[in-house]
Structure 1
């Protein structure tokens, strides 16, 4: 190599090297951006059926079992998974419909003979067997109440077939007007509230709450009913409720005290099931000095 190079040649070499590095960095950057975009699009296209399956599964409830994924596309593993899920929903929907028909038939088949039995007791037994007559009528009405409560509980746990706008404040007023709270002080604070749901089940929810507050009370006690800020609160005086036993009250056939006048232990469990069917939350806490406060938040 000649000893004396032109002075411009090293500068030219440096410029070429810098240009090559610049082009390389630009190319790598562009390829990175393109690969990220292409990867994101491809991944989104591949995962879109998975998102659809997940969204359908999260949306499903007893009242939306008619929905299906109905995935279209090539018969790959995801299409097979979606079709299997749809077939499972078909079987589940048929099973739920069969159970609903059974509940309706059982309601008729069980209540009719009990009504006939009650009429036979009231008409057929003479007045001079009053104690036996009253005892038979008491157990007949208790059985009717138990069967009715079990059917309502089963209906609530199977979800809502349809939803209608219900003025909950009017339901509360009607239940209060029809209720019997003799010997108790009832105070109310009711504000307008409309919820989507089943008017019959919502009436039963309010009725059970008020019946529970009246039944498990003491003479001269009080019941406070509040409907405010999408929350229905029923608070009563009464016997002490241990804090560790509160959750048990929402289980079927659970009672703190067993007496002849008390129900079957289904009141608050029905409240919890109806609230769940309406996507509402239920919580309860004992009051200082006795009694219970139950809050249903819609």
Structure 2
């Protein structure tokens, strides 16, 4: 139930409690005031005479009364009066309660309007668009204090993200340069004609380690970039990216004796083409690396992107952990992966207002489903 509805219900409930209490008090006062033992003369059977026409305690002869006069007991008059009071009060209370509900709904909307401004501003925020502020006008009440606190938090977040951007940019250069120098030195040493077999084996091992380190750094930087959100957006044909990445993975698939089964349709999204290429490339490379010889990788793009492989059996309880950085199944540790593939997939999907999830494939392997919002731009025929 929404807060506005709850507030309206509270307003109406308090009003009803107060109304019932007021009716009960009036009922008690009226019951105490009405006579019970005296006889009351009524001028007409259809209309009661005012109570002060004949004073209490007055003795009247029957001949003094009009011919159409009826004489009723005080108890009957009291019962009829209280019954009419209850019915009229109940009707008035229902009508007033309806009005109170309407007024409560209007007042609750006015009270919660600043909260809607805060929510709208929060929805517009992204890691690359922290320039939005609420700047709520009004008296210095609790809502004004909340809006000012939110604006202050955004100022601190903007400063923090700016620092992170600078760190990622510097780390990208500082971490890659030493690895590039190391790789060059190893390749020069291996190119020496006088290098012994032992040095060549050691150099090959160092080159492999260097390559793993470069991939790990690239993955971490890419993960940091996607976690920060999108700096810019453009229209991207997802099906074309899939075709390009399948072609890029063809040699790897051939070496692993894995075949691709691709079925796509035209699918237009708004986002970063580099990050989307990394998302699809990671999915395809994971599906090939963690497959079995002679296996297949199925790629389907309809309402969502679904990539399925035929690798080893994956326990259902282990699937959620595969999206965490550096988490791999025990039988996957011998691969060349860094454990960041599905983490990057999930991070990139979130940066594009999408989602990624996985489940075990029935015959072994994994099924990864990626939902990305398709744009409303008209697609070419």
- Normalised TM-score (structure 1): 0.87
Aligned to 2:368, the other structure's residue is in SS state: strand
Give the structure 1 partner of residue 341 of structure 2.
267
2:107 to 42, 48, 58: 42
Q: Kindly tell me: are residues 29 and 228 of structure 1, through their superposed partners in 2, closer, same or farther at Cα, counting changes over 3 Å?
A: closer
1:70 to 131, 135, 143: 135
Inter-partner Cα distance in structure 1 for 2:201 and 2:103: 86
Aligned to 1:143, the other structure's residue is in SS state: helix
Inter-partner Cα distance in structure 1 for 2:333 and 2:66: 115
- Any conservation in 1 of the 2:234–2:270 contact (CA below 8 Å)? yes
- Any conservation in 1 of the 2:282–2:342 contact (CA below 8 Å)? yes
Give the structure 2 partner of residue 284 of structure 1.
358
Q: Kindly tell me: are residues 74 and 221 of structure 1, through their superposed partners in 2, closer, same or farther at Cα, counting changes over 3 Å?
A: same
Q: Any stretches of 5+ residues in structure 2 without a counterpart?
A: 1-59, 72-80, 373-381
Give the structure 1 partner of residue 186 of structure 2.
121
Inter-partner Cα distance in structure 2 for 1:171 and 1:37: 54
Inter-partner Cα distance in structure 2 for 1:200 and 1:60: 22
Give the structure 2 partner of residue 94 of structure 1.
159
Aligned to 1:71, the other structure's residue is in SS state: coil
Q: Kindly tell me: are residues 6 and 71 of structure 1, through their superposed partners in 2, closer, same or farther at Cα, counting changes over 3 Å?
A: farther
Q: Report 1:182-201 matches (<5 A).
A: 182=254, 183-201=257-275
Q: CA deviation at 1:288?
A: 2.8
Q: Kindly tell me: are residues 105 and 26 of structure 1, through their superposed partners in 2, closer, same or farther at Cα, counting changes over 3 Å?
A: same
Q: CA deviation at 1:39?
A: 3.8
Q: Which has the larger radius of gyration?
A: 2
Aligned to 1:86, the other structure's residue is in SS state: helix
Give the structure 1 partner of residue 326 of structure 2.
253
Q: Kindly tell me: are residues 31 and 296 of structure 1, through their superposed partners in 2, closer, same or farther at Cα, counting changes over 3 Å?
A: closer
Inter-partner Cα distance in structure 2 for 1:24 and 1:254: 70
- Post-superposition Cα deviations, 1:113-168, rounded to whole Å, max 9, x if no partner, equal 21122122212442533212211111111110000001111111222223222111
Residues 1:166 and 2:236 are matched in the alignment: yes
Give the structure 2 partner of residue 13 of structure 1.
none
Give the structure 2 partner of residue 205 of structure 1.
279
- Post-superposition Cα deviations, 1:204-225, rounded to whole Å, max 9, x if no partner, equal 0000000001111122211111
Aligned to 1:220, the other structure's residue is in SS state: coil
Give the structure 2 partner of residue 152 of structure 1.
222
Inter-partner Cα distance in structure 2 for 1:49 and 1:204: 41
- Any conservation in 1 of the 2:349–2:355 contact (CA below 8 Å)? yes
Aligned to 1:171, the other structure's residue is in SS state: helix
Give the structure 1 partner of residue 74 of structure 2.
none
- Normalised TM-score (structure 2): 0.69
Inter-partner Cα distance in structure 1 for 2:266 and 2:69: 89
Give the structure 2 partner of residue 233 of structure 1.
306
- Post-superposition Cα deviations, 1:11-65, rounded to whole Å, max 9, x if no partner, equal xxxxxx9xx9899889767755554444433332222112322343455443443
- Post-superposition Cα deviations, 1:165-206, rounded to whole Å, max 9, x if no partner, equal 211111101111121210222111011111122111110000
Inter-partner Cα distance in structure 1 for 2:98 and 2:322: 60
Give the structure 1 partner of residue 210 of structure 2.
140
Q: Any stretches of 5+ residues in structure 1 without a counterpart?
A: 11-16
Q: Kindly tell me: are residues 144 and 25 of structure 1, through their superposed partners in 2, closer, same or farther at Cα, counting changes over 3 Å?
A: closer
Inter-partner Cα distance in structure 2 for 1:2 and 1:72: 77
Q: Kindly tell me: are residues 2 and 29 of structure 1, through their superposed partners in 2, closer, same or farther at Cα, counting changes over 3 Å?
A: farther
Q: CA RMSD for the aligned pairs?
A: 2.7
